[in-house]
A and B are shown apart, each in its own frame.
Chain A
C-alpha cells in the first residue's frame, strides 16, 4: 500500500468524525435557527410596523455588507473587550445563524412576493385571516419557489463552516490542518477535506431534488405555482 494511501485511510476517520460531530451539527443548528430568524425578518419586512422594518433592514444591510470572516472575528475575538466572552462553538453558531437569517430573509420575502395577489384575495374571500392565508395558501406555494435558493444557502453554509476553524472549532478543516501540521502532507489532507465537503454537498443536492419534487407534485410539466 503506498504511503499516501495509508495516510488517506488513517486520516479519513478523524476528518469524518470532525464532520459528524462539528461540521454537520453546526450546519444543521445554524441553518434551522437562521431559517426561523429569516422567516421572522421576512414577515416583519412584509407586514411589520415601520420602526421594526427599519431595524430588520439595518440588520440585513449590516450582515450582507460585511465579510463573514470579519463577523466571526468580531464575535469571538472582539466581544471579549466589552465583557462578552463566548466559547468557540457558540460564537460560530451565532455568526452563522445571523448570516443565514440575513440572506434567507430576502429569499423568503421574494418567494412570498412571487405568489400572485389573486391567491391572497382567494384566501381572503373565504374569510381567512392574514395569518391563515399565509399558513394555508401562501407559504405552501412560496416554499416550492424558495427550495432551490435555500438549498444553495445550506450548501454554501456547509462550506462556510470551515471558517469556524479560525475560532478554533475542531471541524473538518481544522482537523485537516492539524494532521497536515504533523505529517507535512498538506496537499493530501486538504484534498481529502475537500472530498468530504463534496460528499456532504452532494447529499444535500440530492435532498434538494427530493424536496422540489415533493413540493412541486401539483405542477404539470414543471409548471410552478401561479
Chain B
C-alpha cells in the first residue's frame, strides 16, 4: 500500500499542496487530474522525494517517513526511491547512452548487477515495450513515443513497487501518445501499481482505475474513474471533466 497522509508543501509563499491524502492499493492505477498549477505534478514528485513535503507522512510498503521540515537522511531518501520508478513528460533519457545502456543504467550503477544480468533484464524490458530492435540506437534518433517507451523500460528495470508517470503523453502528438498509452495499459493489466499526473483524458480513462481530482493544491474529489468521469459530484470536477473531454474530442463516458 502507498499512502500519502496530510501532505503539505509550499514553494515560498505559494501553498502548492494543502493537507493532501491519497491512498493507492497495490496493483491499482491512479490518475491525478486537475488544472495546471493544481499541484498534481508536485504531489507525484513527493512520492519519490524529488520534492520533499513540508509536513505529512508518506508510507511506501514498509517504509514510513514523517516530514518535519528537517533535512531527510540520504538513507531514508534511498529507501523510498528504490521502491519507485519515474517517467517524465520530456522522457529525459540519457542522450550520451544508447537505448539499452539507458535501461541498464540503474541496474549497473545503483543495484550493482553484473553487466550480463543487466543486459538480459534490459532486453526483456525493451521487448515488452516493443523497442528491442532499437537497443543500440541513440535516443536522439528516436521519435518521442519511442523515447517514452524506452523511458518506461528504464524506470521498470529495478522492479519498482510503484511507477510514477508525470504527464507521460503530454509532449507527444496523438499517434505517438497512443503507443505509450498502449504500453501503460499493458502494465496496468499486469498489475503494476501506477500513479500518473495527466491531463490526457484518453490515458486517464483507459488506464486508471481511480482518479483523484486536485484543484488549488487540495483534493476536490476522488474515486473510481468511471464515477469521477461520468458522475462527478463536485461542480469544479464537473466543469473540469467537461473541458477535458472537449479538448480530447472524446466523450468521457
Contact = CB atoms under 8 A, between A and B. Distances in A.
How many interface residues does chain A have, given as a range? Answer: 20 to 34
Contacts of A210: none
A132 interface: yes
B109 A126 contact: yes
Given A121-B50, A126-B158, A226-B95, A136 B90 contact: no
Contacts of B141: 220
B140 A219 contact: yes
Contacts, number: 75
Nearest to A219: B140
B44 to A, nearest CB: 11
A226 B50 CA distance: 20
Contacts of B155: 125-126
A119 B154 CA distance: 14
A96 to B, nearest CB: 31
A125 B86 contact: yes
Contacts of B88: 118, 121-122, 125
B27 to A, nearest CB: 21
B110 interface: yes
Given A122-B88, A124-B50, A129-B74, A218 B106 contact: no
Interface in B85-113: 85-86, 88, 90, 92-98, 105-106, 109-110
B140 A220 contact: yes
Contact of B84 (A121, A125, A141): A125
A5 B177 CA distance: 72
Interface string A185-226: 000000000000000000000000000000101111001011
A140 interface: yes
Contacts of A219: 95, 138, 140
A217 B60 CA distance: 40
A137 interface: yes
A128 B77 CA distance: 11
Contact of B48 (A116, A125, A128, A215): A125
B95 A225 contact: yes
Contacts of A118: 88, 90, 92
A81 interface: no
A141 B138 CA distance: 14
A125 B164 CA distance: 10
Contacts of B96: 140-141, 144, 215, 218, 225
A89 B23 CA distance: 68
Nearest to B48: A125
Interface residues of B, number: 30
A119 B94 contact: yes
Nearest to A216: B96
Interface string B53-95: 0000000000000000000001000100110111010101111
A226 to B, nearest CB: 6
A135 to B, nearest CB: 8
B139 interface: yes
Contacts of A215: 96
Nearest to A125: B86
B92 A127 contact: no
Q: Which of B88, B92, B139, B141 has the most CB of A within 10 A?
A: B92
Given A126-B154, A132-B110, A136-B109, A119 B92 contact: yes
Nearest to A140: B96
Contact of A218 (B50, B84, B138): B138
B106 A127 contact: yes
A127 B81 contact: yes
Interface in B136-167: 138-141, 154-155, 158, 164
17 contacts: A121-B88, A122-B93, A125-B50, A125-B81, A125-B84, A125-B86, A125-B155, A126-B109, A126-B154, A126-B158, A127-B81, A127-B106, A128-B110, A129-B78, A132-B110, A136-B109, A215-B96
Query: What 9 A-B pairs are tightest by C-beta distance, nearest first?
Result: A126-B106, A125-B86, A122-B92, A127-B81, A218-B138, A220-B140, A118-B92, A140-B96, A127-B110
Given A119-B94, A125-B50, A225-B95, 17 more contacts: A116-B92, A121-B50, A125-B86, A125-B164, A126-B85, A127-B82, A132-B109, A137-B94, A140-B96, A144-B96, A218-B96, A218-B98, A218-B138, A220-B138, A220-B140, A225-B96, A226-B95
